[in-house]
């Protein structure tokens, strides 16, 4: 039989275990909004993590050419590894239906790779660049995003994209909305 003191210490122990469990979970950050700079913000976090000695994996979706051909990013390996599963360098929306179907299969391979990365704890930070666009285009569902994030263990995850679904927002620990207040191009 518990006395009042035992119940308090039992509750405190339970609360501290729950707190420790939460602390062991990686954080989910989202960069969203119609402004420019969501992917660069995520890349900045990747560089910060790499400088701290963490391993980073970036998977890009819907980025046409993306960063996969960047010599700068290649020089950052092995601390920062970049993957892109789409084969086309064209805008996804402009592809004929047959090629879109192929690209959806490639994108799904990228999602499966992300699950593997998270379930094995292969990195300390996983960036899923433009994943929110996949939800917006109904290539993956909110439930699939939730199942993916459940695999994260201690890995921190960053999601980027212009459109933020309310249900995806609820999965995040932190959401940053990026807006462009003024944008001017300079000709050289």
pLDDT in tens, 161-173: 999 999 999 999 9
**Backbone torsions φ then ψ of 114, nearest 5 degrees:** -60, -40
Higher-pLDDT residue of 150 and 185 is 150
CATH assignment of 26-171?
Answer: 3.40.50.300
β 80-84/156-161 pair status: unpaired
Question: Per DSSP, what are the bridge partners of residue 183?
Answer: none
pLDDT tens digits along 90-149: 777 777 888 888 888 989 999 999 999 999 999 999 999 999 999 999 999 999 999 999
Question: Per DSSP, what are the bridge partners of residue 102?
Answer: none
Q: Judge whether 62 and 132 are in contact, CB under 8 Å.
A: no
With a pLDDT cut of 70, the percent of the chain lying above it is 81
**Backbone torsions φ then ψ of 161, nearest 5 degrees:** 155, 155
Structure tokens at 174: 């932190």
Predicted confidence at residue 103, as pLDDT, reads 86
Task: Band the pLDDT of 65: cuts 50, 70, 90.
Answer: low
Higher-pLDDT residue of 151 and 20 is 151
Q: To which residue do tokens 């939730």 refer?
A: 146
**Backbone torsions φ then ψ of 185, nearest 5 degrees:** -100, 145
């Amino acid at each position: 039989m518990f006395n009042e003191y035992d119940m308090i210490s039992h509750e405190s122990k339970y609360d501290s275990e729950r707190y420790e469990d939460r602390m062991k979970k990686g954080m989910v950050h989202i960069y969203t909004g119609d402004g420019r700079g969501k992917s660069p913000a995520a890349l900045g976090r990747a560089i910060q993590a790499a400088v701290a000695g963490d391993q980073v994996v970036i998977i890009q979706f819907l980025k046409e050419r993306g960063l996969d051909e960047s010599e700068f990013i290649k020089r950052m390996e092995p601390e920062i590894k970049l993957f892109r599963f789409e084969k086309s360098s064209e805008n996804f929306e402009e592809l004929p239906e047959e090629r879109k179907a192929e690209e959806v299969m490639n994108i799904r391979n990228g999602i499966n790779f992300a699950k593997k990365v998270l379930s094995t704890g292969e990195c300390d930070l996983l960036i899923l660049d433009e994943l929110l666009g996949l939800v917006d285009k109904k290539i993956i569902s909110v439930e699939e995003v939730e199942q993916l994030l459940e695999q994260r263990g201690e890995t921190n995850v960053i999601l980027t994209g212009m459109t933020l679904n309310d249900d995806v927002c609820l999965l995040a620990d932190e959401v940053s909305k990026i807006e462009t207040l003024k944008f001017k191009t300079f000709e050289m």
